Amino acid sequence: MPRARSTVLALLTAALACGGCGGAMQPDELSRSIGTLESAAAEGALLGADVDRDRTKATFARAHARDLGDVVDHEAEKLQDASANGLVAERKAAAVDLAGRISEALGQIQTAPGSEREGRSAASDLTRYGNRAGKLAEGL
Amino acid sequence: MKTALQIALGVIAAIGGFVDIGDIVFNAQAGASVGYPALWAVPVGVLGIMVFAEMSGRIVAVAKKPNFVLVKERYGPRLSTFTLVASLVLTVLTLGAELGGLGFVLNYFFDVSVSFFVLIAVIATAAAIYFLPFGGLERIFGYMGLALFVFFAASIKLDPDWGEIGRGFVPEAHGAAVYWYFVIGLIAAALMPYEIYFYSSGAVEEGWDERDMKVNRANAFLGFGLGGILAVSILVASTQVLKPAGITPDSVGTVALVAEVPYGELGLILAFVGILFAVGGATIDTAFSAAYNLAQHQGWKWGKRFKLLDEPRFTLSLAGFLLAGFAIAQTGVDPIELTEYAVIFSIPVLPLTYLPILLVGGDRAVMGRYANGLLSRVLGWAYFALICLLAIAAPVLFVWTNGGS
């Protein structure tokens, strides 16, 4: 019986550790978060490039840019709420700032899904932000 | 040619089964995350469903018994009720996800609101079920879903590395848990329980008998084979477009973007038409599958082949399941996550679904000269062993890899 109880306790501890409940943000959690931002920026760049070349449907560009923006905003909220120390705290603050920029560039596509000029500008910005996110996650 | 035109049941069961809303995105995620090395898992899963679909179609042709009748006969009341409840929960969750997916796809076309289009989707599905004959449902949703072949064309146009693709079909030993998570998910996606329930009940709806053995084989091998080609195409095209860009697909819009890259707006529209009908097919599969299972377990009269109004309990349960799916979709839950959970957590139920088919398929007292031959027996039991292994591994890998992320 004591053995069964200690097994249950160990499983619960492992589950809590896996779930990342409580405590300061760990580098791998931040890395996953930045990965989400990088992915959204890269996808937004692809979408923006298609808006630029008039190769997409405006309704799709608008709705999909909005979806991507929601993902980025949600990630920014999670980052903002998490506590962190040292290098992780520095990178976390940079990631929150980057999320704001990515969201803004996606907003450009959402607002003007038929404008080739806006699409080009958003694609260029999002490519830059995606690269920046990649560098931010390095060494975590 | 005539036989080729009679494979709509296999096509809709396959497309609705393993190119549904969750699997479309799961295949793309496998391509973006693991790439070509995950390819071999698709034919492994497809061969498994071909073996069991052929067996269950043969049982219907000889014994006129769909799969849940076999479950009820072979298990005691407790185990058959447990199998019913587990399959209903998973099927209705999947139905909710499919309706949510239809809402997303329609919203990409018209940009009004997803929840509005979920309502439109449930009304359109109910109208199609009520007004169209069973064969019409199969043909419209099955064949229109083949617009997904745009991904096949895209994967060729994007000039893939054929050597890498070839090597992807050879299983390799791999240490990464994420790799095994996707491999197991791809195999399991082909073996979702509701596919086989829909297929065997659909065979009863079509009135198969011993003269239809050829039609059964064509449906099992060509129909499910086409579904497998589509799954491979999405994985390959996503490996080419999403993996190098570092994009992790989380929505059906990202998958459609894969077809837009080589073909522009036309590719996007074809992708969405294919997705719309494939997901519509999955909605029909799941709604019918839930109603068939309940009716067969309870011993009610069931089937679309009779007038729906003459079978009030079956018709009411069909309507009830659609409404339950609608309620789930309207909660705003992410349909992709919902189907991924359904795939992973359906795996422990798989042995209960497939064992009765193996037992009856091999029973000479029931099947006579149509009982399983050596090849069917060996493949059937080998796949059953694999399914039991998956039933243990899938939930563990799901937790270990944090859902493949």
* pLDDT for res B5: 63
- Asked whether the beta carbons of residue B248 and residue A134 sit closer than 8 angstroms, the reply is no
A18: distance to nearest CA of chain B, Å?
8
CA nearest to A42, candidates B231, B322, B241: B241
pLDDT, tens digit, 9 for 90 and up, residues B323-372: 999 999 999 888 888 887 777 777 778 899 999 999 999 999 999 999 99
Q: Domain residue spans in chain A?
A: 30-137
Cα A68 to the chain's mean position, in Å? 9
The CATH number for B257's domain is 1.20.1740.10
A38: distance to nearest CA of chain B, Å?
7
- Asked whether the beta carbons of residue A57 and residue B251 sit closer than 8 angstroms, the reply is no
Tokens of B321: 């399941």
Q: Which residues contact B46 (CB under 8 A, 6 or more apart)?
A: B18, B190, B224, B225, B227, B228, B231
- Asked whether the beta carbons of residue A39 and residue B246 sit closer than 8 angstroms, the reply is yes
Which of A32, A36, A63 faces B108 most closely, judged by CB atoms?
A63
**Which pLDDT band holds residue B19 (cuts at 50, 70, 90)?**
confident
What secondary structure letter does DSSP report for A82? Answer: S
Q: Enumerate the residues of chain B whose CB falls inside 8 A of the CB of residue A36.
A: 248
* pLDDT for res A7: 42
Exposed e or buried b per residue across A44-77, where buried means at least 16 C-beta atoms within 10 angstroms of its C-beta? bbbbbbbbbeebbbbebbbbbbebbbebbeebbe
Tokens of B257: 């973007």
Residue B286 CA to residue B102 CA, distance in Å, equals 14
Exposed e or buried b per residue across B99-118, where buried means at least 16 C-beta atoms within 10 angstroms of its C-beta? bbbbbbbbbbbebeebeebb
**Cα→Cα distances B235→A111, B1, B249, B331, Å:** 32, 30, 12, 30
Which of A46, A59, A130 faces B257 most closely, judged by CB atoms?
A46
Residue whose token pair is 């018709």: B315
Considering all CA atoms of chain B, what is the largest pairwise distance in Å, rounded to the nearest integer? 58
* pLDDT for res B2: 58
Residue A64 contacts B, CB cutoff 8 Å: yes
Residue B256 contacts A, CB cutoff 8 Å: yes
Instruction: Mean pLDDT check: name the lowest of B147-151, B154-158, B258-262, B349-353.
Output: B349-353
Mean pLDDT confidence for B150-157:
96
Range of the domain at B239: 4-400
pLDDT, tens digit, 9 for 90 and up, residues B22-60: 889 899 999 999 999 999 999 999 999 999 999 999 999
E strand or H helix at B245 = helix B224-245
Cα B155 to the chain's mean position, in Å? 22
B255: distance to nearest CA of chain A, Å?
11
- For residues A18 and B149, which has the higher predicted lDDT (pLDDT)? B149
- For residues B143 and A45, which has the higher predicted lDDT (pLDDT)? A45
User: With the C-alpha atoms ordered B27, B29, B31, B35, is the resulting torsion angle positive or negative?
Assistant: negative
> Is B391 a domain residue?
yes
**Which pLDDT band holds residue B11 (cuts at 50, 70, 90)?**
confident
Which of A38, A60, A62 faces B246 most closely, judged by CB atoms?
A38
pLDDT, tens digit, 9 for 90 and up, residues B289-312: 999 999 999 999 998 877 777 889
Q: Enumerate the residues of chain A whose CB falls inside 8 A of the CB of residue B108.
A: 57, 59-60, 63-64
> Is B187 a domain residue?
yes
- Asked whether the beta carbons of residue A57 and residue B265 sit closer than 8 angstroms, the reply is yes
High-pLDDT (> 70) share of chain B, %: 97
Which of A36, A43, A62 faces B254 most closely, judged by CB atoms?
A43
CATH number (1.10.40, 3.30.70, 1.10.357, 1.20.120) of A30-137 reads 1.20.120
Residue A134 contacts B, CB cutoff 8 Å: yes
Q: Enumerate the residues of chain A whose CB falls inside 8 A of the CB of residue B260.
A: 50, 55-56
* pLDDT for res B17: 67
pLDDT at B85 over 70: yes
A86: distance to nearest CA of chain B, Å?
25
**Cα→Cα distances A23→A19, A26, B24, B219, Å:** 11, 9, 36, 55
- Asked whether the beta carbons of residue A35 and residue B260 sit closer than 8 angstroms, the reply is no
- For residues B320 and B10, which has the higher predicted lDDT (pLDDT)? B320
Which of A42, A62, A64 faces B246 most closely, judged by CB atoms?
A42
Tokens of B107: 């919203």
**Tally of domains within chain B:** 1
CA nearest to B48, candidates B214, B212, B193: B193
Q: Enumerate the residues of chain A whose CB falls inside 8 A of the CB of residue B250.
A: 71
What secondary structure letter does DSSP report for B208? Answer: -
For an interface test with A, give the residue of B243, B258, B268, B276 to mutate (most A CBs within 10 A).
B268
DSSP string covering B269-289: HHHHHHHHHHHHHHHHHHHHH
What residue type is B337 in one-letter code?
A: E
> Is B150 a domain residue?
yes
Mean pLDDT confidence for B157-169:
95
Phi, psi of B13, rounded to the nearest 5 degrees: -65, -40
Instruction: Mean pLDDT check: name the lowest of A14-23, A77-86, B293-302.
Output: A14-23
* pLDDT for res A19: 46
pLDDT at A16 over 70: no
pLDDT at A104 over 90: yes
What residue type is A124 in one-letter code?
A: S
**Which pLDDT band holds residue B70 (cuts at 50, 70, 90)?**
very high
* pLDDT for res B336: 85
pLDDT, tens digit, 9 for 90 and up, residues B227-278: 899 999 999 999 999 999 999 998 999 999 999 999 999 999 999 999 999 9
* pLDDT for res A54: 95
Residue A78 contacts B, CB cutoff 8 Å: no
Residue B247 contacts A, CB cutoff 8 Å: yes
Pick the most confident of A78-87, A96-105, B79-88.
A96-105
- For residues B10 and A84, which has the higher predicted lDDT (pLDDT)? A84
* pLDDT for res A99: 97
> Is B405 a domain residue?
no
